[in-house]
Amino acid sequence: MRAIDGTLQGAATIPPRPSAVAPLLRRIRRAGDDDWRARLRWCGLGDGALAEVSAAAAHHRPLVIVGERGTGKEFVARAVHALSRPDTPFLVLSPEANFPVDARGTVYVENAHLAPGLGDRALGPHRLACGARAELPVGVLPSAVVLRLVPLRERPGHLVPLVHHYLAAHARRVGGGRRRFDRSLLALLAAWSWPGNERELEHFVVDVLEAMPGTLVRGRDLPESLRVRLDPSAGVAGIGLEGFEEVVAARLAPVVEHWHEGRGTDLHALVTGACERALLRLALARTHGNRKAASRLLGIARNTLQSDLRRLGVSAAPESPPEDPENAR
C-alpha cells in the first residue's frame, strides 16, 4: 500500500493502523457493493485504493484529495465518509460558503485551492474533506491526510477496465442488453488523452450507448459528432453547425449535472465567460496577437474586441508587425 501523506508537503506519513483498517475492509466486503468497489479499484489511487481509503477513514484529521477535474475527488471523499461516518450526513459546499456550525458528519469543500481563509475557519464537530486541483498553500491544514489521484492518461491500463465497468453499469438503463466495444473503438479511446478523466470517459460511453444500438459497437460506425470528441482536429467544418452544438452540449453536460446552487456565481455567467475567453485566446493565437486580424476573424469591431479583452481579463500578446510587402513576394 502506498504511503498516505500526513502533511500537504508530504514531509510525514501516517502509517495505517491494522487494528482499525481491518474491520473497515471487512465492512466494505460484506456490503457487497460491486459498483462502489469497482470504481475504487480503477480510480486514480491505484491498486491500493481500498486500503488507502480505509486507512484515511481510520483517522479523523481533515482530508485533502488532490486531482484533476473528473478524477473522482468527491467520490473518494464519499467513500471515506461511508467507511468512517456512515450514519451521518455528507454535505457539499462551494469554496466561498461558510462551514455549518452544527453539522455532524463530513463537510466536503469543492475546489478548496480557491477557498479563502480555509485554514482559519472553525471546523466544529464535523470532519472536513477538501477536493483540490492543486496543492494547498504551505501551512493550510498542516495536519491533513492527503490523497492524490493520478490522471487517467498516466494509467492507460485502467482505460479498458473502466470502459467495461461503465458499459455494465449503464447498458441496462440505456437498454439493448449486453454491449461491448470492438477493438477499433477501444483503439480510438486509447488514443485520446481524456482531459476530463473518468467523468469524461463515462459520459462518452453513455452517449455511445444511446446513439448506437446493437450488441457490438464498432469504431467505424461511430457518428461524426462522437468521433470529433476523440479527434478535435476534425474541426467544425467536418461536423457542421448541428454537430458542433452536439459536441458543445456533450462537454457542458458534466458541468451542468454536477453544478450546485449557491456557489456565489451563476452557471450562465460561468459558461459564457469561459467560452468567450477561450474563443478570444484562440483567435489571438491564430492571428499571432494581431488584434485587427482577430477582430476580422471573429466578425466584431476592433473596439469591441478591446473592450471584451478588458472585461474578461484576457491578456493579449503584443501585436505582430505588419508584413513587409517586399518579403511577401
Q: What pLDDT was estimated at residue 10?
A: 29
Cell numbers that stand for 136 in this block: 494547498
Task: Check whether residue 41 and residue 72 sit in a common domain.
Answer: yes
Task: Check whether residue 243 and residue 303 sit in a common domain.
Answer: no
Q: What pLDDT was estimated at residue 129?
A: 92
Task: Check whether residue 37 and residue 146 sit in a common domain.
Answer: yes
Between 189 and 9, where is the model more confident? 189
Residue 6 covered by a domain: no
Task: Check whether residue 58 and residue 71 sit in a common domain.
Answer: yes
Which pTM does this prediction carry?
0.64
Whole domain around residue 277: which residue ranges?
Answer: 267-320
Domain count, the chain: 3
Residue 3 covered by a domain: no
State the pLDDT confidence band at 131, using cuts at 50, 70 and 90: very high
d(CA 291, CA 311): 16
Tens digit of each residue's pLDDT (9 = 90 or more) over 176-230 = 678 899 998 999 899 998 988 998 999 999 999 988 888 898 888 888 878 888 8
Q: What pLDDT was estimated at residue 243?
A: 53
Q: What is the largest CA-CA distance in the chain?
A: 81
d(CA 159, CA 165): 10
Task: Check whether residue 30 and residue 126 sit in a common domain.
Answer: yes
Q: What pLDDT was estimated at residue 244?
A: 64
Region 130-148: mean pLDDT is: 88
Cα-based distances in Å from 313 to 141, 272, 298, 308: 31, 14, 18, 8
